[in-house]
Amino acid sequence: MSNYSIKSLEEYFQVYRKSVRDPETFWEEIAEEHFDWRRKWDSVLHWDFSKPEVKWFDGAQLNITENCLDRHLQIRGNKTAILFEPNDPKEEAEHITYRDLHERVCRMSNILKENGVNKGDRVCIYLPMIPELAITVLACARIGAIHSVVFAGFSSNALATRINDCDCKIVVTSDGSYRGAKTLDLKSIVDKALEECPQVSHVLVAKRTGQKVNMKRGRDQWLDSLMEQAYADFPAEIMDAEDPLFILYTSGSTGKPKGMVHSCGGYMVYTAYTFKNIFQYREDDIYWCTADIGWITGHSYIVYGPLANGATTVMFEGVPSYPDSGRFWEVVQKHKITQFYTAPTAIRALAKEKLDYVNSYDLSSLKVLGSVGEPINEEAWHWYNNNIGKGQSPVVDTWWQTETGGIMISPIPYVTPTTPTFATFPFIGIQPALMDDQGNEILGNQTQGKLCIKFPWPSMARTIWGDHERYKNTYFSAFDNCYFTGDGAFRDEVGYYRITGRVDDVIIVSGHNLGTAPIEDAINEHPAVAESAIVGYPHDVKGNALYGFITLKEVGESRDRDNLMKEINQKIAEQIGPIAKLEKILFVSGLPKTRSGKIMRRILRKIASNETENLGDISTLLNPEVVQEIMEAASAKQV
Ligand code: WTA
């Protein structure tokens, strides 16, 4: 029997040891006993990090939607699979049973097929958090098409880049979307993006807000009427375990976004197994992850992981602050949520509000609280633990990445004792290593280094779409025979890990990964700008915020600086999206540079964080005199 659900710390150690000593037998047992396969694998694992090439369950055949839908129909057909909670609390929640979901996914599969989508084709999904989003994702998986979900907060430019990168011919979107008190005009964002994407021949439009939109004849169709007419059954396409399931873009420190490619078999096994253990899901639980399906957290822990376990998973359309800051807790009470999974930035924002917002609701249904996306600071951890969990619900601080597909380091609730700010132990099968700057592994505890993973795990991304070389360079060349995460970590005396943050030029703002280079590119497009450098600095709600140091083409430029700042942020919003706007902008006469012309971000980072006592040696700079000027200008701005 495999250890599908871990119940004690002893069992964790025992299973962990087994998963490391004999990974193939371990994962084979899990895969065999808990999933439906059309054909069994020829080999469990084949890997070579120098290429890099990783194959799990090679030769096996399956369809992930048969595991997420069909196999539950007999025993859980009438159980709620997706519980949709709309933006407006006055609008009724929708309970979509496994039977309904299966039927709607089949209808959508037929629609995609009729619109020319075949196995291996890429489908761009640009939808708000409405049921059609999960349905379209699953329909792609059912017909073997590769979904590429783009978060519906990205700008038309960012959308166009992603559509073109993986050459999508079809886009699924909606007329508009609700976000708190705002209504966003999604369809016109798509229309604008498609001016740059001539290959897109079909756009399917879900009706959500009912606002007036332009429908381009021959290209655009309303989804609702197609759904009514579509046939309600669709035999799942048989996929190889290593066939791509989806592409999801994540920001790199340089260049265009990276389309991480995940494959069917290993991803299914690992997301389901982590979901079961890290949320300790039991049959009648109501699980809620507040992420958006536009991010990896939503893919793995709203859609695939929960559904593969036959769980009830909540899809929330709204925001934490609408109609007021009690919204999360109202939903917890209303649906008797048992597991609640959110981001530190949301916790910090809500912790600033009056406790009455929490205390007006009955939160006694909660059993597990989760955190993801960035380090959770001690204060936020305690607030969450004390006020939401009442000290009774373990907080699982889950560390992982778009690239890892599933949770990598996390406590198992009721099993691993929690400590604020520590993601604690590696999950089963995960072999972390801390590396020093010379590329050697640092052994022993009470130590800090760059976080790597030494051995493959089933849900790791297999490549970057269209650029395997970049995949190799980004993740497998910094350290020999290791996957490099880009994060730093500390390991304490018992072997618990604390993630200390990014060690590259990726900045995490409100849980969103932002690369500095694309933002700088956007700023530099402004005709008045000569050069720019972006750094992150600590922000009490967002975790980090962006600080832009900018030089202008005409020194002493007399333009209105406030206006210029607005225009620069407008450029960023157009190129990337409002999430990448700068919190602070400082116009300076020069940026500190090395003699070889590289901008010294380290110095700017210290100035932005107001840590100017110890700037290190600046005498080797090409232009040390600008440092003083920038420091003075920055401190004048603080007051
Ligand atoms: C950061 C989100 C500290 C980390 C699932 C990682 C975290 C990046 C944690 C990936 C955590 C995520 N503690 N840092 N619990 N979880 N991170 O790809 O820097 O959106 O590399 O995946 O978020 O972000 P991504």
The per-residue DSSP string of 561-587 comes to: HHHHHHHHHHHHHHHT-GGG--SEEEE
Residue 88, exposed/middle/buried by CB under 10 A (0-12, 13-18, 19+)? middle
Question: Measured in angstroms, how far is the CA atom of residue 401 from the centroid of ligand 1?
Answer: 5
Ligand 1 pocket mutation pick from 377, 508, 514, 579 by most atoms within 8 angstroms of CB: 508
Among 475, 494, 520, the domain-final residue is 475
Residue 572's pLDDT band (cuts 50, 70, 90): very high
Regarding whether 531 and 446 lie in a shared domain, the answer is: no
Residue 423 CA, closest ligand 1 atom number: 15
- Amino acid at position 456, single letter: P
Looking at the chain, the whole-number percentage of residues with pLDDT higher than 70 is 99
Structural tokens at position 446: 């009470």
Question: Measured in angstroms, how far is the CA atom of residue 511 from the centroid of ligand 1?
Answer: 8
What does the alpha-carbon distance between residue 273 and residue 4 come to, in Å, rounded to a whole number? 7
* Average pLDDT score over the chain: 95
Question: Measured in angstroms, how far is the CA atom of residue 336 from the centroid of ligand 1?
Answer: 28
What does the alpha-carbon distance between residue 372 and residue 401 come to, in Å, rounded to a whole number? 10
Question: Measured in angstroms, how far is the CA atom of residue 400 from the centroid of ligand 1?
Answer: 5
Residues with CB under 6 A from ligand 1: 250, 295-297, 372-375, 397-402, 423, 485-487, 499, 502, 508, 513
Question: Measured in angstroms, how far is the CA atom of residue 46 from the centroid of ligand 1?
Answer: 27
Question: Measured in angstroms, how far is the CA atom of residue 433 from the centroid of ligand 1?
Answer: 17
Regarding whether 77 and 191 lie in a shared domain, the answer is: yes
| Residue of minimum CA distance from atom 1 in ligand 1 | 374
Residue 486 CA, closest ligand 1 atom number: 21
Question: Measured in angstroms, how far is the CA atom of residue 297 from the centroid of ligand 1?
Answer: 10
Using the Cα atoms of residue 390, residue 393, residue 397 and residue 398 in order, give the sign of their dihedral: negative
Residue 407 CA, closest ligand 1 atom number: 5
Regarding whether 470 and 519 lie in a shared domain, the answer is: no
pLDDT at 549 over 80: yes
Nearest to 219 by CA among 169, 177, 175: 169
Is-contact 143 237, C-beta < 8 A? yes
| Residue of minimum CA distance from atom 22 in ligand 1 | 401
Q: How far is CA 73 from CA 64, 99, 239, 529, in A?
A: 15, 6, 21, 59
Residue 506 CA, closest ligand 1 atom number: 19
**Is there a domain that residue 482 lies in?**
no
- Predicted confidence at residue 558, as pLDDT, reads 61
Ligand 1 pocket mutation pick from 369, 381, 401, 483 by most atoms within 8 angstroms of CB: 401
**Is there a domain that residue 327 lies in?**
no
Regarding whether 556 and 423 lie in a shared domain, the answer is: no
Assessment of whether the complete model's pTM goes beyond 0.75:
yes
Range from 5-19, 467-481, 522-536, 592-606 carrying the lowest mean pLDDT? 592-606
For residue 142, the surrounding DSSP H or E stretch is helix 131-143
pLDDT at 639 over 60: no
- Predicted confidence at residue 555, as pLDDT, reads 66
What does the alpha-carbon distance between residue 395 and residue 368 come to, in Å, rounded to a whole number? 6
Q: What are phi and psi of 451, to 5 degrees?
A: -85, 125
Residues 42-65: what's their mean pLDDT?
98
Regarding whether 410 and 552 lie in a shared domain, the answer is: no
Nearest to 69 by CA among 33, 103, 120: 103
Residue 512 CA, closest ligand 1 atom number: 20
Structural tokens at position 117: 């989508």
Q: Can you list the positions of beta strands (E) in 52-135?
A: 53-58, 61-62, 80-85, 94-97, 122-126
- Predicted confidence at residue 638, as pLDDT, reads 63
**What 3-state class would DSSP assign to 90?**
coil
Regarding whether 297 and 166 lie in a shared domain, the answer is: yes
Regarding whether 524 and 429 lie in a shared domain, the answer is: no
C-alpha torsion angle, residues 565, 569, 574, 578 (rounded to 10): -160
- Predicted confidence at residue 401, as pLDDT, reads 98
Residue 371 CA, closest ligand 1 atom number: 15
Regarding whether 64 and 154 lie in a shared domain, the answer is: yes
What does the alpha-carbon distance between residue 596 and residue 574 come to, in Å, rounded to a whole number? 32
What does the alpha-carbon distance between residue 465 and residue 544 come to, in Å, rounded to a whole number? 29
**Is there a domain that residue 491 lies in?**
no
- Predicted confidence at residue 327, as pLDDT, reads 98
| Greater pLDDT, 436 or 518 | 436
**Is there a domain that residue 325 lies in?**
no
pLDDT at 2 over 80: no
β-bridge mates for residue 287, sequence order: 313, 339
Give the chain's radius of gyration (CA, Å).
24
Residue 557's pLDDT band (cuts 50, 70, 90): low
β-bridge mates for residue 370, sequence order: 341, 396
| Residue of minimum CA distance from atom 24 in ligand 1 | 401
Structural tokens at position 485: 């995460």
β-bridge mates for residue 124, sequence order: 148, 171
**Is there a domain that residue 504 lies in?**
no
Residues 382-400: what's their mean pLDDT?
98
Ligand 1 pocket mutation pick from 419, 421, 513 by most atoms within 8 angstroms of CB: 513
Question: Measured in angstroms, how far is the CA atom of residue 204 from the centroid of ligand 1?
Answer: 33
The per-residue DSSP string of 279-299 comes to: TT--TT-EEEE-S-TTSHHHI
| Residue of minimum CA distance from atom 14 in ligand 1 | 374
Residue 556's pLDDT band (cuts 50, 70, 90): low
For position 283, which CATH number holds? 3.40.50.12780
Helices (H), 288-405: 296-298, 305-308, 327-335, 344-351, 356-359, 378-383
| Residue of minimum CA distance from atom 15 in ligand 1 | 399
Ligand 1 pocket mutation pick from 253, 299, 374 by most atoms within 8 angstroms of CB: 374
Question: Measured in angstroms, how far is the CA atom of residue 248 from the centroid of ligand 1?
Answer: 15
Is-contact 523 532, C-beta < 8 A? yes
Q: What domain count does the chain have?
A: 2
Question: Measured in angstroms, how far is the CA atom of residue 262 from the centroid of ligand 1?
Answer: 17
Among 418, 451, 475, the domain-final residue is 475
Residue 554's pLDDT band (cuts 50, 70, 90): confident
Residues 394-404: what's their mean pLDDT?
98
Q: Strands 497-502, 483-491: parallel, antiparallel or unpaired by DSSP? A: antiparallel
pLDDT at 166 over 70: yes
Residues 146-165: what's their mean pLDDT?
97
**Is there a domain that residue 341 lies in?**
no
Residue 61, exposed/middle/buried by CB under 10 A (0-12, 13-18, 19+)? middle
Question: Measured in angstroms, how far is the CA atom of residue 466 from the centroid of ligand 1?
Answer: 24
Ligand 1 pocket mutation pick from 292, 487, 504, 505 by most atoms within 8 angstroms of CB: 487
DSSP state, 440?
P
Is-contact 72 98, C-beta < 8 A? yes
- Predicted confidence at residue 117, as pLDDT, reads 98
Residues 518-540: what's their mean pLDDT?
93
Nearest to 429 by CA among 19, 4, 36: 19
Among 475, 494, 528, the domain-final residue is 475
| Residue of minimum CA distance from atom 25 in ligand 1 | 401
DSSP state, 361?
S
Regarding whether 457 and 516 lie in a shared domain, the answer is: no
Nearest to 83 by CA among 73, 92, 75: 92
pLDDT in tens, 243-283: 999 999 998 777 789 999 999 999 999 999 999 999 999 99
Question: Measured in angstroms, how far is the CA atom of residue 587 from the centroid of ligand 1?
Answer: 31
What does the alpha-carbon distance between residue 266 and residue 520 come to, in Å, rounded to a whole number? 37
What does the alpha-carbon distance between residue 395 and residue 341 come to, in Å, rounded to a whole number? 9
For position 537, which CATH number holds? 3.30.300.30
Structural tokens at position 207: 């009706």
- Predicted confidence at residue 264, as pLDDT, reads 98
Question: Measured in angstroms, how far is the CA atom of residue 501 from the centroid of ligand 1?
Answer: 8
pLDDT at 637 over 80: no
Residue 402 CA, closest ligand 1 atom number: 18
Nearest to 604 by CA among 629, 627, 579, 572: 627
Residue 295 CA, closest ligand 1 atom number: 20
- Predicted confidence at residue 594, as pLDDT, reads 82
Regarding whether 227 and 110 lie in a shared domain, the answer is: yes
Question: Measured in angstroms, how far is the CA atom of residue 487 from the centroid of ligand 1?
Answer: 9
Structural tokens at position 492: 């304490």
Residues 398-419: what's their mean pLDDT?
98
- Predicted confidence at residue 215, as pLDDT, reads 98
**Is there a domain that residue 153 lies in?**
yes
Regarding whether 27 and 143 lie in a shared domain, the answer is: yes
pLDDT at 1 over 90: no
Q: What are phi and psi of 493, to 5 degrees?
A: -70, -20
- Amino acid at position 516, single letter: T
Regarding whether 414 and 535 lie in a shared domain, the answer is: no
What does the alpha-carbon distance between residue 431 and residue 325 come to, in Å, rounded to a whole number? 40
β-bridge mates for residue 39, sequence order: 61
What does the alpha-carbon distance between residue 583 and residue 586 come to, in Å, rounded to a whole number? 10
Chain centroid to Cα 365, Å, comes to 27
Range from 179-188, 217-226, 327-336, 523-532 carrying the lowest mean pLDDT? 523-532
Cβ neighbour number for residue 585 with a 10 Å cutoff:
22
**Is there a domain that residue 550 lies in?**
yes
Chain centroid to Cα 383, Å, comes to 24
Question: Measured in angstroms, how far is the CA atom of residue 503 from the centroid of ligand 1?
Answer: 12
Question: Measured in angstroms, how far is the CA atom of residue 238 from the centroid of ligand 1?
Answer: 33
Cβ neighbour number for residue 538 with a 10 Å cutoff:
13
List the domain range (segments joined by +) for residue 624.
Answer: 510-637
- Predicted confidence at residue 535, as pLDDT, reads 95
